[in-house]
Amino acid sequence: MTLTLKNTQHMTTEEMEPHWPEIIACITKYCDKFPDEETVEHALGQCFRGERQLWLILDEESKVVLTPITEIITLASNGKKILMYAQAGGSRIEDALPLMSEIEEWAKQEHGVTQAHWWGRKGYRKLLGDYGFNESIVVFKKDI
């Protein structure tokens, strides 16, 4: 079971067109988990404006199974550049994790990033640890 990664910056409109229903389905799946934090329109709008990068992970039949969206963040205090895995909607995330090294290499080469951050639920702790991520903060939420 081999997955492939595509950077949508390097895809033509014709290459993207057949994937749109699957892309929308993957992003919708993510947004449905976090309805107070993200919408499909907002997520795609950020990608269209170049604020974030949309990636496609395709299965053996070229079907989109996961849509990682990344963002390059520059810290104002010291100029350090960070690759932020902003969201990933779809399925087969565990199978797709080895492909993240390609995204990280792109971020290093194209943007000079020196670190990657991934915000996720507790269940990602073990999965991400296997790929060099360490837990560094806990986010507390409260409705007011």
- Tell which CATH classification among 3.40.50.10480, 3.40.50.300, 3.40.50.2300, 3.40.630.30 matches the domain 4-129: 3.40.630.30
Domain locations along the chain: 4-129
Q: If the chain, 144 residues long, is cut into consecutive pieces of 10 residues, what is the mean pLDDT of each piece?
A: 93 96 96 92 95 96 95 96 92 93 97 93 86 87 88
Tokens at residue 138, please?
A: 């806990």
Q: Where are the alpha helices (DSSP H) in the chain?
A: 13-16, 20-33, 40-48, 93-96, 100-111, 124-129
The pLDDT score that the predictor gives to residue 139 is 80
CA distance 9 to 54: 8
The pLDDT score that the predictor gives to residue 121 is 79
